[in-house]
Amino acid sequence: MSNLNRSDEEQTLVDLATQVLPAGGFGNLASDIVIREGRGGRVWDVSGNEYVDFLLGSGPMLVGHGHEEVLAAVQEQVQRGTTFFANNEAGIRLAAEIVEAVECAEKVRFVSTGSEATFYAMRLARAHRGRDKILKFEGGYHGMSDYALMSMAPKRPGNFPQATPDSAGIPQRIREEVLIAPFNDPEMAAGLIKEHHDELGGIIVEPFQRLLPPQPGFLETLRKLATEYSIPLIFDEVVTGFRLAYGGAQAYYGVTPDLCAMGKVIGGGFPLAAVMGRSDIMSHFDRNAVADESFMPQIGTLSGNPVAAVAGLATLDILDRPGAYEKLFATGSALMEGLEALLEASGVPAVVIGEPPLFDVFFTSTEVKDYRGMQTNDTDRAQRFNATLRENGILKGDSKFYVSLAHDEKDVAHTLDAFAIAVKSVL
């Protein structure tokens, strides 16, 4: 029995959405819910139902919704102007903070979305290397560009290194420019890099792929071979940037790429992302630093937007305070350990995977270390589990619990109670 009520107002909005939006939504969360507001670690829908929010806008709200310091910075900036298409103080200071915090970042170029950041990172690598092919990893999500939508979620995975398009409308030729390797298989990755090194313009990887931590030696192998063959190594840290550590996954796992894409957290809930990396590679953005044939133009109306930049600066300031990541990890660990204990007691075959700031449960008895392991998830059980959580006041996506600094002991207790009910629903 659902604990939620659907008001006529919300149902009217859902009906209107089906008339004016493809599939009735924005292409993100399922379109049967309309969110009205968020505060701290919780959100409310238009019907007034309250949820502990583990969606967090798909991750940006790491310090919680409506943080007073972020709001104050935004409100002050809005009075001064909302966009300029020119350098602004907040954007410059945010770039400087990123350079200070992130090991690979010698220069930063802002864009508006994570898809743009990964797209430009791959283009930078190809421009610098003078080669066309990109090596990516099966199941890796790098946004919505043609290159990224190769073997992100193939229904019928092909033989490595053959790429499988994930979308209609992608030119057939793109398939020939992307090589696919399995995540967490250093031997196969090494073999493909050695075989194709003279064709590769770059290697792109999520250091923490979706929910999969890298196994010991995997990232180190990529780093070693990328260095050996002078192939730019790109970390997609749109999700992990400033989430796993203040310096991102590269600090957390101790492996430094040549280029990095970040988004979500660095915009503090506003549209902002960035590509960053070694000065010699980033110089392809500078017409005066490279030959004409090596110059890579990049223009974006809202790139470095001052409102997003002040929100990002305020968010990073909060995260840089003593104890911030300890609290974040303690909250996530309490949730992961509580869920693991309930699942073990139930006898349901399942594994909780991820890191404390970002995790989920997979209903399988198979080891989950790559995309094909993730495909063994019992999707019927997963859907029942997620639906029961929603009915009991927990909001999450189809996959991933995003944990925030704003989640408190009351949120954890509520969630553990909902976990107990949801586990019973999948027996």
What's the CATH code, domain 8-66+323-425? 3.90.1150.10
Return the active site residues. Answer: 141, 236, 264
- CA–CA distance, 328 with 167 (Å, rounded to integer): 36
Instruction: Give, in degrees to the nearest 5, the angle at Cα 140 between 224 and 156.
Output: 120
Phi, psi of 318 (to 5 degrees): -65, -40
The predicted pLDDT at position 391 comes to 95
Strand partners, 355: 358
What is this structure's pTM?
0.96
* Domain 68-319 belongs in CATH node 3.40.640.10: yes
Token code pair at residue 302: 């809202």
Element housing 382 (H / E): helix 379-391
Three-state SS at 12: helix
- CA–CA distance, 333 with 321 (Å, rounded to integer): 20
- Half-sphere CA count of 197, side-chain side, radius 13 A: 16
The predicted pLDDT at position 3 comes to 66
Peptide bond into 157 cis (omega under 30): no
- Which residue blocks in 42-113 are alpha helix, DSSP H? 68-80, 89-101
Residue whose token pair is 């796992």: 253
Query: Which pairs count as long-range contacts for 24-29, CB under 8 Å and 24+ apart, including other chains?
Result: 28/58, 29/55, 29/397
What is the pairing mode between strands 394-395 and 351-355?
unpaired
Domain locations along the chain: 8-66+323-425, 68-319
Indicate if 68-319 has the same CATH topology as 8-66+323-425: no
Beta strands of 285-416 (E only): which ranges?
351-355, 358-362, 394-395, 401-402
The predicted pLDDT at position 333 comes to 98
What residues have CB less than 8 Å from 149, skipping those under 6 apart? Answer: 165, 166, 167, 170
Amino acid at 279: S
The predicted pLDDT at position 2 comes to 53
For the chain, first and last CA: distance in Å? 17
Rounded average pLDDT per 10-residue block, the chain, 427 residues: 79 94 89 93 96 97 98 98 96 98 98 97 98 97 95 88 94 95 97 97 98 97 98 98 98 98 97 98 97 95 97 98 98 98 97 98 96 95 96 94 98 98 97
The predicted pLDDT at position 1 comes to 38
Q: DSSP string covering 386-426, please?
A: HHHHHHTTEE--SS-EE--TT--HHHHHHHHHHHHHHHHHT
